[in-house]
Amino acid sequence: MSDTGFVEIFEVGPRDGLQNEARLIPAVDKIALIDLLSTSGLRRIEATSFVSPKWVPQMADAAEVMAGITRRPGVAYAVLTPNMRGYTAARAAGADEVAIFAAATEGFSRANLNASTQEVLARLAPVATAALGDGLRLRGYVSVVTDCPFDGRTPPASVARAVAALLALGCHEVSLGETLGRGTPEAVDAMLEAVLNEAPPQVLAGHFHDTGGRALDNVDVALARGIRVFDSAVGGLGGCPYAPGAAGNLATERLATHLAASGWATGLDQDIIARAATMAQTLRAPAA
């Protein structure tokens, strides 16, 4: 097949991939993984998150990681910031892009953030205002876009409302998180149909987990709908501490190979991505 255009892979392994590993991974190892990924052709890497160490102990070294990485020209280093305290720390650490997150269901919102969806959005408003005022790019995440572990099937209209709210806060891009990996291509397509009534595909990204082995099928559905940015985690790292049964994110190496076979350009060096995948799997192994 001839090349059909460019698809950006947004690497989330160092943050979303490692955040719930039980073994605390040394900052030096996280830095080494990010530095290797920085040489692969990726344009954006989600490096860490500035969240409460009480809730996510694995990310307690966020400032150390950001201070230790070797920043390469052309690579933006993004961080997750759930509140103003996190944003202030991220700004001080030199983040290029900050991400905020909301859920498409009330059950997940209360389990994840101990607040209703509307309360979460109100809490995020000052973060968004500060980021935009400081000239940082603002990314949004919507969780559980097809299925919720607490509320069951997610209505597509609920996802569309969450996306619209995040765009209204000033997000340049909203990533649609199929958090459980249960979403079928049919469910993903129905969700996207609703969301695309609120936003063009150019401001959307797909974030698929591979629990049910359908992540690449769901990528294809999103591609057909015009989406050209996809989140993935090198080595298939990840899951969600608030989503029982959620397995790893779609592996970056699998996504890159799949896209290339379908004629899409990603700009990635597959050999470096393979080395990073091996490193990532080593990090998640039990300590000797």
Tell me the catalytic residues: 240
**Whole-angstrom Cα distance, residue 159 to residue 177?**
10
H runs (alpha helix) in 1-53: 27-37
Residue-wise DSSP of 126-168: HHHHHHHHTT-EEEEEEE-SSEETTTEEPPHHHHHHHHHHHHH
- Bridge-based pairing of strands 264-265 and 147-148 is unpaired
**Cα dist from 37 to 30, 47, 76, 267, whole Å:** 11, 10, 12, 13
**What is the SS3 assignment for 113?**
helix
Instruction: Say if CB 116 and CB 85 are below 8 A apart.
Output: no
User: In this structure, what DSSP letter does residue 201 have?
Assistant: G
Do you know the residue count of the chain?
A: 288
